[in-house]
Amino acid sequence: MPGRLSLRLAISALGIIVLAGPAAAQPGRVGGIVRDDKGDPIKGATITAENENIGSSFTATTDDKGRFTIIGLRSGTWRFIAQAPGFAPDGGEMPVRTGNPNPAMAFTLRRTGPAWTGTMAGIAAKDLQADLADADGLFNQQKWDEAIAAYRAIMSRTPALSVINLQIAAAYRKKKDFDGAIAAYNVLLSIDPENEKAAVGVGEANLERGDTKAAEDALLKATAVPNAGREVFYSLAEMKNAQQETDQARQWYEKASAADPWWGKPLYKLALLALDKGDRQSAAKLFDRAIAVDPVSAEAALAKTALDHLNR
């Protein structure tokens, strides 16, 4: 299902390894494979791993067999997104454990346009991964300017990896240079107009600098893009909820849930809105759904706690 992270049985002999940031004892390791909708492996796809609670980000690219590995993740729920030019992205959340094997991931990217031709040829995967590891290390050490320069140097050698603009934009946002962040997102959108993460990023960067109207305009524009996904709808819902426009927030949360029925986050927020209205019965049903569809998510844990209180 598009937008849903698929977990498969463990895959042996995974290809590329990324090391980023200071290594902890027995760091979390994840790996997997990226294929197109015909089942063929995609070389040079970019996988990003993010954890907002920790504030860390990692990047990896696939080898010629579509395989990747990321090492160095701390325990917690991480968001993974796989992207490649000419394909719709695929992603989702997964809890990562340190010191224990984690399930292998399998991404299926649906082709939306022509893929790159020849831009990755002759590029040594190990060299590219080493450069990405260095750039990620700078990012995770909060050396924002150095990280931006490192990411730009990678893109100058491998222009096909335009999704690295997401990392550049994230670094600009960390240093509160919102114009720089929006410019980086727009570079990616000029290449990949349907990139949902970049579209959401424009809205979020505008919101962070206090321009609510520009943020809303950017997100509304993103909803009109073909195949607009869950993140766009959810971001709009969050904005409307913060503005206490609960009826509109509810509508956007419902759209986010419809875009990915296996995502517990909007269901949990819908349950909270129902509680605010005093509708305990609807809230309980929504909490149950959040647990059923996304049982390993942080929202499922919160929903279980909320149900315990409701049932007392």
pLDDT in tens, 149-160: 999 998 888 877
The answer, yes or no, to whether residue 5 has pLDDT greater than 50, is no
Q: What is the span of the domain harbouring residue 286?
A: 236-312
Residue 234 has pLDDT above 90, yes or no: yes
Structural domain contains residue 249: yes
Determine, yes or no, domain membership for 308: yes
Instruction: Dump pLDDT digits (tens) for 84-124.
Output: 877 878 888 888 888 777 888 999 988 876 554 444 444 55
pTM, two decimals, is: 0.65
In-domain check, residue 5: no
Closest CA to 3 of 234, 208, 166, 159: 234
For residue 303, tell me if it sits in a domain.
yes
Segment 51-64 mean pLDDT: 81
Beta carbons within 10 angstroms of residue 98's beta carbon: 16
Closest CA to 168 of 158, 153, 160, 157: 153
Q: Which of 107, 103, 56 is nearest to 83 (CA)?
A: 107
> What's the rounded mean pLDDT across residues 289-305?
88
Average pLDDT over residues 221-236: 83
Sheet of 90-96, strands arranged across: 56-61, 46-51, 76-83, 90-96
Averaged pLDDT of the chain: 82
Q: Any residues with CB less than 8 A from the CB of 100 and at least 6 apart, and which?
A: none
Whether 310 maps to a domain, the answer reads yes
Query: For strand 6-8 and strand 104-111, is the pairing parallel, antiparallel, or unpaired?
Result: antiparallel
Least confident of 24-38, 171-185, 241-255: 24-38
pLDDT, residue 162, reads 83
Instruction: Output the pLDDT for position 56.
Output: 77
The residue-averaged pLDDT of 67-82 equals 87
Q: Is 137 within the bounds of a domain?
A: no
pLDDT of residue 283 exceeding 90, the answer is yes
Determine contact, residues 55/76, Cβ cutoff 8 Å. Answer: no
* Number of domains observed in the structure of the chain: 1
pLDDT for 118: 44
Do the Cβ atoms of 85 and 162 come closer than 8 Å? yes
At 12 the pLDDT is: 28
Q: What is the distance between the alpha carbons of residues 219 and 236, in angstroms, rounded to a whole number?
A: 6
pLDDT of 103 reads 86
pLDDT tops 90 at residue 289:
yes
User: Which of 11-15, 75-79, 109-113, 271-275 is predicted with the least confidence, judged by mean pLDDT?
Assistant: 11-15
pLDDT at residue 26, as a whole number? 55
Lowest mean pLDDT among 8-22, 49-63, 101-115: 8-22
Weakest-pLDDT range from 129-133, 246-250, 271-275 = 129-133
Three-point CA angle 25, 28, 33, nearest 5° = 150
- Is residue 284 situated within a structural domain? yes
Let me know if residue 264 belongs to a domain. Answer: yes
The CATH number of the domain where 273 resides is what?
1.25.40.10
**Whether the predicted pLDDT of 60 surpasses 50:** yes
Task: Give 81 or 55, the one with higher predicted confidence.
Answer: 81
In this predicted model, what pLDDT tens digit does every residue of 159-206 receive, in sequence order?
Answer: 777 888 999 999 999 999 999 999 999 998 898 887 888 888 999 999
